[in-house]
Amino acid sequence: MEILDVHNHYYPPEYLELLKKGGSAITVDEDEDGNPRVHYPGDYNIVVKGHRDIDYRQDILDELGVTKQVITFTTPGVHVETPAIAAEWARLVNDCMGKIAKERSRHFSALATLPLNDPAAAVVELERAMKEHGLPGAMLFSNVNGVPLADERYFPLYQKADELGAVLQIHPEYPLGVEAMKKYWLMPLVGFLMDTTLATAHLVFAGVPERYPNIKWVLGHLGGAIPYLAERLDRGYEAFAECRANITKPPTEYLKHFYFDTVNFDPNALMCAVQFAGADHILAGSDYPHQIGSIQKMKTALGSLPLSEGDKALISGGNAKRVYGL
């Protein structure tokens, strides 16, 4: 059975070299094992070998039986820099990703990263990355320096994505209200999932999926709490005029067209999403090589689901082939 992993992360070495030169909002040092540590407000990432060595990563995929990954950049993104630097560095990252996707197409595809703190530049870079490098779309962060994705400044980006039939994959970012999440790693454990949930609900109530129906929306980490909370959003639609102002159907009618990756390795949680959106809207994801990610746990969870072999094949790879054009 093919396994196509759509949620994983990669730092191009060229990007890491830029960080080491200074002049960035991000600082870099090393851990006790010599791995770079990327520090940004509220969090840091340990950049292990799988994050930055594509040869090593390819060997790991072969060893663990993963057919292909759609690689993506990761937090904090380029939008924490000045707009000019963000546009320049997004182009560099996408050129690196595009090169990998072209030269190692049997193992890798990729999504673009965008200078989201400059919406006009983000439109240009999305089109360039898709047309010049053949990437199927882009990863968006759940907020952009506190600005919600549903803000109208991003509507031209969604219009371009709609014209291109792009995949837009939402990944959490430094969440709003982070002051309450400083202990016990609550920011990535809880805050990230809530920020995805908030961003998605806001996009739906703002009418973005209705206005731009050709975008393929993918939600990281099983959509946060969306499958669990969707019915409550429908009750909001029924109860409050504001929740009906921009949409003509209950939120669930849009959300069931979103795709949800499997970066929640609890079979019960996975089945909640399957029951909500259908097996044809679930995508395999591992969060490799983050400390909290696991290809093996992804595979074990998928294998344990009480589904037909046909549905398991859709989740493992068939859906990703269709959505990302792999």
Helix axes 13-20 and 83-103, enclosed angle (nearest 10):
150
Q: Encode 270-298: b = buried (16+ Cβ within 10 Å), e = exposed.
A: bbbbbebbebebbbbbbbbbbeebbbebb
User: Does 102 map to a domain?
Assistant: yes
Q: How many CB atoms lie within 10 A of CB 199?
A: 25
Edge-to-edge, what's the strand order for the sheet holding 167-171? Answer: 137-141, 167-171, 216-219, 259-261, 282-283
User: Does 216 map to a domain?
Assistant: yes
User: Does 15 map to a domain?
Assistant: no
* H helix or E strand, kind and range, residue 43: strand 43-46
Q: Is the dihedral of CA 319, 322, 325, 326 positive or negative?
A: positive
Contact at 8 Å (CB) between 265 and 305?
A: no
pLDDT tens-digit series, residues 4-16 = 999 999 999 999 9
pLDDT tens-digit series, residues 120-140 = 999 999 999 999 999 999 999
Indicate the pLDDT class of residue 320, thresholds 50, 70 and 90. Answer: very high
pLDDT tens-digit series, residues 294-306 = 999 999 999 999 9
Q: What tokens does 176 get?
A: 């709003």
User: Does 278 map to a domain?
Assistant: yes
Do you know the residue count of the chain?
326
User: Does 23 map to a domain?
Assistant: no
Indicate the pLDDT class of residue 68, thresholds 50, 70 and 90. Answer: very high
Contact at 8 Å (CB) between 287 and 293?
A: yes
* H helix or E strand, kind and range, residue 93: helix 83-103
pLDDT, averaged across the chain: 96
Contact at 8 Å (CB) between 120 and 149?
A: no
The dihedral over CA atoms of 157, 159, 162, 163, expressed in degrees to the nearest 10, equals: -110
Contact at 8 Å (CB) between 257 and 223?
A: no
User: Does 36 map to a domain?
Assistant: no
Percent of the chain with pLDDT over 70: 100
Under 8 Å CB-to-CB from 275, ≥6 apart: which residues?
227
In the chain, how many domains are there?
A: 1
Q: Which single residue is written with the structure tokens 């040092």?
A: 29
Q: What tokens does 51 get?
A: 């994050």
User: Does 133 map to a domain?
Assistant: yes
In the three-class reduction of DSSP (H, G, I as helix; E, B as strand; rest coil), residue 282 is classed as strand
pLDDT tens-digit series, residues 230-281 = 999 999 999 999 999 999 999 999 999 999 999 999 999 999 999 999 999 9
pLDDT at 177: 80
Q: Which residue has the higher pLDDT, 40 or 308?
A: 308
Contact at 8 Å (CB) between 149 and 161?
A: no
User: Does 76 map to a domain?
Assistant: yes
Print the domain residue range for 180.
4-8+48-324
The CATH number of the domain holding residue 210 is 3.20.20.140
Specify whether the backbone of 29 is left (phi greater than 0), alpha (psi in -120 to 50) or beta.
beta
